[in-house]
């Protein structure tokens, strides 16, 4: 959120509470499988668990949760939270 580019990029996505970062990558190759064995599913809509959870936490609670739980990635790299 502290990057100059964040606001412009953020407009391209739905509004989710507690957004921490947008990571831009340059991919050299992207591939997928044929999908022949993947069953068909009907899209039913978006889940609302994140919004309900975030509302209960409140703005300050989200910041504290992120500071306490998202300071590093699953593989131990520092997050993009900075000094929040």
Range of the domain at 56: 1-22+48-77
Query: Among positive and negative, which fits the CA dihedral 47, 21, 30, 13?
Result: positive
Band (pLDDT 50/70/90 cuts) for residue 84 is low
Which pLDDT belongs to residue 29?
92
Q: Is residue 11 part of a domain?
A: yes
Compare 80 and 25 and report the one with higher pLDDT.
Answer: 25
Q: Decide if 40 is inside a domain.
A: no
Domain assignment of residue 60, yes or no: yes
**Domain-embedded: residue 34:** no
Domain membership flag for residue 39: no
Label residue 82 by pLDDT band (50, 70, 90). Answer: low
Domain count along the chain: 1
């Amino acid at each position: 959120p502290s990057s100059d580019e964040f606001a412009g990029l953020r407009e391209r996505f739905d509004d989710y509470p507690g957004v921490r970062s947008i990571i831009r990558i340059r991919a050299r190759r992207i591939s997928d499988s044929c999908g022949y064995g993947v069953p068909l599913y009907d899209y039913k809509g978006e889940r609302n668990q994140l919004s309900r959870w975030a509302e209960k936490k409140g703005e300050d609670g989200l910041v504290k949760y992120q500071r306490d739980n998202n300071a590093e990635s699953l593989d131990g790299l520092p997050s993009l939270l900075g000094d929040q």
